[in-house]
Amino acid sequence: MEPWVEALLAWYRAHPRPMPWRGHPDPYAVWVSEIMLQQTQVETVRPYFTRFLEAFPNIAALAAAEDGPLLKAWEGLGYYTRARNLRKAAQRVMAEHGGTLPREPAALRALPGIGDYTAAAIASLAFGAPTPVVDGNVARVFARRNLLGDDFRKPAPRRALAAWLTPHIEASGAPADFNQAMMDLGARVCTPRTPACLVCPLRPQCQAHATGRQGDFPHTPPARALPERRATVLLLRDCHGRLLLARHPGERLLAGLWELPTRESVPFPIPRTRLVGTHRQTFSHFRQTLTVRQATLPLDGAAAALPPDLVWCDDPASLPLTTATRKILAGDL
Ligand code: SF4
């Protein structure tokens, strides 16, 4: 084992970062945590992880989950396709692997929602396989340590870095600790703007530190401007205060979640509306601005016939809502 690997492991063991999924004996829990952590911060995931495992304590329970409770447990975490893929994968594990999560990275990668990174993470954290994980944090550490000028948002440089790390993780004898140490070092020490080089276990070998070029790595070409989408949504209540909600259409992203309807989706005349405010949200591929208008209808919603994707609702919190709708109802405008 090279001295830097020894120093990295010693640092990790001396500075553990408690997380509810760390040291969890159940590969299912590791898998759920890794899916939740995709594009989501650790602090956001913590309460969701605990609640999700209470609602769906094992693979069989997840495989049998209904849409409503599944989306409710995921509500607010975003990227809802992850929840549906998790259930699809659980059903495949029940059907094809006797209800036990497979250990091999290739078999894990064959399951819905599991790519190279997640397969490597599960294989190492749950089963001790020497498969290095390369996320943005890890790439930043080694781009600086080794002065690598690649764009690590692309798969090829990530794969090359994983290949370079493989003999080191094999020699470490502790793949789970090695991977978690790298992730933690990137998140807590080798941070994007102000790396804490003085306390970094990799400082003796770090070429960026030696040359004062931490700010030059990793190299990130400027991002494209995101396209803007605009819409007007309605806070419509009936004479009993019930709120009109629409089921989000389609099969991806927010499909199946409930949200405030647009004017076009309401099949009856709407009285004069009043401007309430605007709500902005950034998704991975676009920015969204919702103008919110409100009105009260002089009718009893329960008496009106509606298409199945619209509902008058007494208690919106009981339905899985889009993040934008939840925030608008909480007054975040
Ligand atoms: S010495 Fe500084 S720049 Fe180099 S890996 Fe450590 S924190 Fe990052």
Distance 209 CA to ligand 1 centre (A): 6
**Is this prediction's pTM over 0.85?**
no
Domain(s) labelled CATH 1.10.340.30 in the chain stretch across 3-216
Confidence check: pLDDT of 195 > 70: yes
Give me the DSSP letters along 158-197: HHHHHHHHHHHHHHHS-HHHHHHHHHHHHHHTS-SSS--G
pLDDT of residue 331: 83
* Ligand 1 residue neighbourhood (C-beta within 6 Å): 141, 144-145, 189-190, 195-197, 200, 202-203, 206, 208-209, 214
Best residue for ligand 1 mutational test, from 182, 189, 213 (most atoms within 8 Å of Cβ): 189
Gap between the Cα atoms of 119 and 38, Å rounded = 12
Domain(s) labelled CATH 3.90.79.10 in the chain stretch across 228-329
CB distance 32 to 111 below 8 Å: no
Confidence check: pLDDT of 288 > 80: yes
- Residue 96's pLDDT band, with cuts at 50, 70 and 90, is very high
Distance 69 CA to ligand 1 centre (A): 44
Which tokens belong to 296? 């009260």
Which tokens belong to 220? 């990130």
Query: Nearest residue CA, atom 2 of ligand 1?
Result: 197
Gap between the Cα atoms of 45 and 66, Å rounded = 22
For domain 228-329, the CATH superfamily is Nucleoside Triphosphate Pyrophosphohydrolase (3.90.79.10)
Best residue for ligand 1 mutational test, from 5, 193, 197, 207 (most atoms within 8 Å of Cβ): 197
pLDDT of residue 251: 61
Best residue for ligand 1 mutational test, from 137, 185, 190 (most atoms within 8 Å of Cβ): 190
pLDDT tens for each residue of 258-284: 999 998 888 888 889 999 899 999 887
Catalytic residue positions, numbered: 34
Q: What share of the chain is helix, strand, coil (3-state, %, to 5)?
A: 45, 15, 40
Distance 33 CA to ligand 1 centre (A): 27
Fold of 3-216: Endonuclease III; domain 1 (1.10.340)
Q: What is the largest CA-CA distance in the chain?
A: 75
pLDDT tens for each residue of 220-234: 877 778 899 999 999
Q: Are strands 287-296 and 228-237 parallel, antiparallel or unpaired?
A: parallel
Query: Nearest residue CA, atom 8 of ligand 1?
Result: 190
Tell me the three state secondary structure of residue 269. Answer: coil
Confidence check: pLDDT of 332 > 90: no
CB neighbour class for 139 (10 Å; exposed up to 12, middle 13-18, buried from 19): buried
- Residue 252's pLDDT band, with cuts at 50, 70 and 90, is low
pLDDT of residue 263: 87
pLDDT tens for each residue of 6-24: 999 999 999 888 888 887 7
Distance 157 CA to ligand 1 centre (A): 19
pLDDT of residue 79: 82
The most confident of the ranges 176-185, 281-290, 306-315 is 176-185
Which tokens belong to 128? 């001790």
Distance 141 CA to ligand 1 centre (A): 6
DSSP category for residue 111 = S
